[in-house]
Amino acid sequence: MFQDIAAALLADAPELRGKLLPNASMSELTWLRVGGPAQVLFKPADEEDLAYFLARCPADIPVMAVGVGSNLLVRDGGVPGVVIRLGRGFNDIEPLGGARIRVGAAVPDVRLAQAAAQAGIAKLAFYRGIPGTVGGALRMNAGAHGGETKDVLVEARAVDRSGAVHVYDNAGMGFTYRHCGVPDDQIFTRAVFEGVPGDPAEIERQMQCVAEYREANQPIKSRTGGSTFKNPPGKSAWRLIDEAGCRGFRVGGAHMSEMHCNFLINDQNATATDIETLGETVRKRVFEKTGIMLDWEIKRIGVPAPTSAALAAAE
* Amino acid symbol at 122: A
| Nearest-angstrom CA–CA distance, 85 and 88 | 10
Helices (H), the chain: 6-12, 47-56, 109-118, 134-140, 200-217, 237-243, 272-290, 308-314
Classify 250 as helix, strand or coil.
Answer: strand
Cβ-Cβ contacts under 8 Å for 103 (sequence gap 6 or more): 92, 93, 94, 111, 112, 115, 134, 190, 191, 193
Q: Identify any residues that bridge with 61 across adjacent strands, giving them in sequence order.
A: none
Helices (H), 5-127: 6-12, 47-56, 109-118
- Our answer to whether residue 227 is catalytic in this structure is yes
Strand segments, DSSP code E, in 147-245 are: 147-148, 153-159, 165-169, 187-194, 196-197, 224-227
Give me the catalytic one of 75, 214, 227, 283. Answer: 227
Which residue, among 268, 64, 65, 217, has the nearest Cα to 227 in the 3D structure?
217
The helices-and-strands tally (H runs, E runs) of the chain is 8, 19
Give me the catalytic one of 111, 161, 178, 300. Answer: 178
Handedness of CA 314, 270, 283, 233 (dihedral sign): negative
Catalytic site positions: 178, 227, 297
